[in-house]
Amino acid sequence: MEFIGIDYGSKYIGLSWGSEDLGVAVPLKSLRNTSPSDVFVALNKIVAEKGCDAFVLGLPLHMDGNEGRRVQEVRQFANKLEAQLKKPIFFQDERLSTQATQYLSGNQTQSLHKAKKQKARGIVDSQAAMIILQDFLEQRKYP
């Protein structure tokens, strides 16, 4: 199976692609979250180009595991996505995915400054989507 990983945000939607056969996720571009119709048109195009059997959305749980307002936003987006693109959706706990992205970028002090600039361009979001999808693929491989 092939998956598109999604890190949903109010400004940017980070994307990644991965395959169960390869067992690896790679970052794609981020989409500006300007309008739902634009987002779904762009996602439909990416699905056609890359291939996708299902979506994996990061679920922004609180550190204690409880759901908050952001989880409700992601679930609403997931419902619209499933209705528009007719693909199954899986959820993956995304706690600390942004921090993991910053860690992968190198020095913590430098990466925090760098992450602020990258966040403005959506780079951190696509890397977070990659981590979300990679975690999902690993859990499927080693349940």
Closest to 127 (Cα-Cα) out of 16, 2, 20, 42: 16
Ranges 29-38, 87-96, 104-113, 132-141: which has the least confidence:
104-113
pTM: 0.83
| Position 77, amino acid | F
pLDDT tens-place string over residues 74-118: 999 999 999 999 999 999 998 766 555 555 555 444 554 555 555
d(C-alpha 87, C-alpha 113), whole Å: 37
* Residue range 20-40: mean pLDDT, rounded: 92
pLDDT value at residue 108: 45
Mean pLDDT of all residues in 118-136: 81
Residue (of 12, 31, 8, 34) closest to 94 by Cα position: 8
Domains identified in the chain and CATH numbers: 2-141 (3.30.420.140)
